[in-house]
Amino acid sequence: MKYTAPPYTYDVLPFPPVKEAWLHTARWRYVENVFREVCRKYGYREIRTPILEQTELFTRSIGEATDIVSKEMFTFTDRGDRSLTLKPEGTAPVVRACIERKLFAEHPLLKLYYIGQNFRYERGQRGRYRQHQQLGVEVFGAVDPALDAEVILLAMDFYRELGVIDQELHINSVGTPESRVTFKQALKDYARPFLAELSGEGQGRFEMNPLRMLDTKNENDLRLLADAPRLVDFLDPESAEHFEKLQSYLTSAGVPYVVDHRLVRGFDYYTKTAFEIVGNSLGSQNALGGGGRYDGLVDECGGGHVPGIGFGLGMERCLITLDALGIDLPTADERPLAFIITLGDENLVRPIAVKLLTKLRAAGISCDMDYKSRKFGHQAKRADDLGARFTLILGDEEAQRGVIQLRDQSSKEQREIAIDLAAAELVLFSHG
């Protein structure tokens, strides 16, 4: 094999591999359409940003200390000696675009969605790839917790629309950067006495990122930290009220949720609300999507005091979950309505077939013919494989008389019609 796809990338095919139904373009289109439709319903507009950004946009916004920035970005220097990075996440580029294009000036409340490719240099796993498609929304301009609720509702709505029923909504509040400083100190004070008993990762996080000690999967660590201080107890009054209101909105909207005191987000820019939607069908990569509020990010990027909240979900994990749940997506009908079978003298019959194809297509009818075999059996099998509803059989005799055999593939009824009327005849079937 001379050329292969780069490690931990994949191809989405028109005919999916036997074992990976999610690698089917029809499924991708369907999910994207559902997402667009949900976003439309909620009043979100689509934004598309470049796949590349200045490296500094990410190092500043995501945080230098995170793994993503320190070792997982696809960064290179271009011929003009600029450091560029394939975007590892969707939020910062949207923020950059809104600031640069001055969208906040004319849109005090700005609701956006995007579908785009993200890149992270990581070891692959089920549902985790180096190029990954993210679907997401961002809202700028208000700190109203009802807006947090709307974003969460939009996300839940999306999954429900797809038929996912085993989703769980986890929420938490990470407060402000200031309240987090106090909390981190309290957490470290709590853990210090048994620091030596924590796992290696736990000890590392104690120093590097105390919040993430809570997020461990190590059972011993979980036991030791069972009674650790909780973020909600350290929130500033404003964040606490915000969190209370969010919960009441979710309750009145009838959305079940669990307050997950261990839920923290990976990026530095999150404030107040953090949430995650967890599926049970993905093994260890069980986070279907997540998001949170980032009231300081726009300011950090030089756009002034504009609060924001967003949500992002991974296309691959979403599709894999749909597969695991056995959800059969209603994919668009790609079958041709008609398939032309030609027989006899090619010089006589082919030009007529090509002309008829052109005419049918001009009338909006999907149709095809066989360009390879000449035996009737093969052409018929081809029509059958493609799932054509009708075959149009054209031989020497029909050609001379200006007619064609119109055969219904399922009922096997066949009748002769004038070639000139074929398009009009088939149009009747093309919309139902």
Partner RNA sequence: GCGACUGUAGCUCAGUUGGUUAGAGUGCCAGGUUGUGGCCCUGGAGGUCGUGGGUUCGAUCCCCAUCAGCCGCCCCA
Q: Which of residues 114-133 bind RNA (CB under 7 A)?
A: 118, 120, 122-130, 132
CB nearer to RNA: pick between 103 and 220: 220
Residue 272: which region, alpha, beta or left (left: phi > 0; alpha: psi -120 to 50)? left
Residue from 238, 299, 396, 420 in contact with RNA (CB under 7 A): 396
- For the bound state, the minimum distance from the C-beta of residue 373 to RNA, rounded and expressed in Å, comes to 5
Binding mask 294-323 for RNA (x = CB under 7 A): ------------------xxx-xx------
Q: Is residue 401 a contact point for RNA (CB under 7 A)?
A: no
Q: Of residues 21-60, which lie at the interface with RNA (CB under 7 A)?
A: none
Amino acid at 35: F
- Looking only at residues 206 through 245 of this chain, which bind RNA when binding is defined by CB under 7 A? 212, 215-218
Of 64-103, which residues contact RNA (CB under 7 A)? 66-68, 72, 89
Among 138, 295, 368, 398, binds RNA (CB under 7 A): 398
Which one-letter amino acid corresponds to residue 231?
L
d(CA 333, CA 96): 39
Min dist. Cβ of residue 149 to RNA (A):
19
Give whichever of 276 and 368 is closer to RNA, judged by the CB atom: 276
Quickly count: other Cβ atoms within 10 Å of residue 37's Cβ: 13
Closer residue to RNA, CB minimum distance, 7 or 108: 7
- Of the pair 9, 331, the CB lying nearest RNA is at 9
The reply on whether position 289 binds RNA by CB under 7 A is: yes
Which is closer to RNA, CB of 46 or CB of 396?
A: 396
Binding positions for RNA, 149-208, rule CB under 7 A: 201, 205
Minimal distance in Å, beta carbon 181 to RNA? 19
**CB of 173 vs RNA, minimal distance in Å:** 16
User: Judged by CB under 7 A, how many residues of this single chain contact RNA?
Assistant: 75
Residue closer to RNA by CB (options 313, 356) is 313
Cβ of residue 381: shortest distance to RNA, in angstroms? 5
CA distance 234 to 183: 6
Q: What is the largest CA-CA distance in the chain?
A: 97
Contacts (CB under 7 A) with RNA, residues 313-372: 313-314, 316-317, 343-344, 372
402 makes contact with RNA (CB under 7 A) = no
Binding of RNA by 383 (CB under 7 A):
yes
CB of 322 to RNA, least distance (A): 14
How far apart are CB 390 and RNA at their closest, in Å?
10
Q: Which of 385, 413, 415, 431 binds RNA (CB under 7 A)?
A: 385
User: Judged by CB, which is closer to RNA: 134, or 173?
Assistant: 134
